[in-house]
Amino acid sequence: MPDTLLPVMPPADPPAPARSALMPLRVRDLTLQMRGQPLLDIPALDLDCAGTTVIMGANGAGKSLLLRLLHGLIAPSSGTIAWGGAAMSPAIARRQALVFQKPVLLRRSVAANLDFVLRARRAGTAEARDALLARVGLTHKASQPARLLSGGEQQRLALARALATRPDILFLDEPTASLDPAAVQSFEGIVSDIADEGTSVIFVTHDVGQARRMAREVVFLHQGRITEHSAAPRFFAAPQSRAARAYLAGQLPL
């Protein structure tokens, strides 16, 4: 049986922390083509999950494109995306934040990068900025040029900048790819905290251990299609699709 015909499992329902105001997410008949290439085809995706949803899948599966679609940075070729019952709009996008796979930092100091966003959102106080810097462990780098930070430090600054907008939905695209183990741990702590505070986190990672630690639900993408969407314990214990089994076993998902 081809993977794409597998039933998409409704997630099990463990007790949830506070639920984001923008949930639920409903995606219907979503397709995306670019330069004539079909890149995504998602007949239906429903997320009504507080806490953290992890999106997994091989390189090129379409994970980053899916985040861009859900955040309104690109428009689908067809289909609909609705958050909390309302169609995707700039007003909704404003209540979301995305930490890109490659952080784009301004040509300013670390502190000025945060000040910029705080001021743009009219939330700009020095205390707010210092609290964010402390939260991601960059207090001692505050006056350094942001673009001279190490790769991991840049990712932490990008996270702090996303938090500065106090998003209801936080998208993270492989945010720990260049973090050291201690930074990964502190990062996961921060993400759990903000998930407990009522922000829904939608998270792309290739780190299976991290996905096990963080995810309440897992969405698995294979060649632009969702082959599996289930509660995390079930996904890791008994992945239903061949592609997911192969991915978890470290094989090429053919």
Partner 1 sequence: MQDFGDAIGLALNLVLSGDADLFEIVLLSLRVSLTATAIACVLGLPLGAVLAVSRFRGRQAALVLVNALMGLPPVVVGLIVYLHLSRAGPLGFLGLLYTPTAMIIAQSILITPIVAALSRQVIEDLHGEYSEQFRSLALSRRQVVQALIWDARYSLVTVALAGFGRAVAEVGAVMIVGGNIDHLTRVMTTAIALETSKGDLPLALALGLVLMVLALGINAAAQSVRLTAARFAYA
Ligand X SMILES: Nc1ncnc2c1ncn2[C@@H]1O[C@H](COP(=O)(O)OP(=O)(O)OP(=O)(O)O)[C@@H](O)[C@H]1O
CA–CA separation, 97 and 94 (whole Å): 8
Q: How far is the CB of 103 from partner 1 (least distance, A)?
A: 8
Which of positions 66-85 make contact with partner 1 (CB under 8 A)?
71, 73
Whether residue 88 contacts residue 67, with contact meaning beta carbons closer than 8 Å, is answered with no
Whether residue 77 contacts residue 102, with contact meaning beta carbons closer than 8 Å, is answered with no
65 binds ligand X (CB under 6 A): yes
Q: How far is the CB of 171 from partner 1 (least distance, A)?
A: 9
Whether residue 42 contacts residue 220, with contact meaning beta carbons closer than 8 Å, is answered with no
Size of interface with Mg ion, in residues (CB under 5 A): 2
**Contact pick of 64, 77, 139, 178 for ligand X (by CB under 6 A):** 64
Size of interface with ligand X, in residues (CB under 6 A): 13
Of 17-25, 124-132, 140-148, 242-250, the window that binds partner 1 (rule: CB under 8 A) is 140-148
Q: How far is the CB of 97 from Mg ion (least distance, A)?
A: 17
Q: Give whichever of 116 and 236 is closer to partner 1, judged by the CB atom.
A: 116
Q: What are the two backbone dihedrals, phi and then psi, of residue 145, each rounded to the nearest 5 degrees?
A: -60, 130
CA–CA separation, 69 and 109 (whole Å): 31
Angle made by CA atoms 69, 245, 59, in degrees to the nearest 5: 40
Q: Give whichever of 8 and 118 is closer to partner 1, judged by the CB atom.
A: 118
Whether residue 80 contacts residue 29, with contact meaning beta carbons closer than 8 Å, is answered with yes
* Host H or E run for residue 43: strand 37-47
Whether residue 55 contacts residue 203, with contact meaning beta carbons closer than 8 Å, is answered with yes
63 binds ligand X (CB under 6 A): yes
94 binds partner 1 (CB under 8 A): yes
* Residue 73 binding: pick among ligand X, Mg ion, partner 1, none (C-beta 5-8 Å cut-off by kind): partner 1
The two three-digit tokens of residue 118, written as one number? 């705080």
Would you call 173 helix, strand, or coil by DSSP? strand
Of 52-60, 76-84, 137-145, 210-218, the window that binds ligand X (rule: CB under 6 A) is 52-60
107 binds partner 1 (CB under 8 A): yes
159 binds ligand X (CB under 6 A): no
Amino acid identity of residue 198, one-letter, is G
166 binds partner 1 (CB under 8 A): no
Whether residue 96 contacts residue 170, with contact meaning beta carbons closer than 8 Å, is answered with yes
| Contacts for 203 with CB less than 8 Å, ≥ 6 apart | 52, 53, 54, 55, 171, 172, 175, 191, 214, 215
List of residues contacting partner 1 (CB under 8 A) = 71, 73, 90, 93-94, 97-98, 100, 104, 106-108, 116-117, 120, 145, 147-148, 165
List of residues contacting ligand X (CB under 6 A) = 34-35, 37, 39, 57, 59-65, 101
List of residues contacting Mg ion (CB under 5 A) = 64, 101
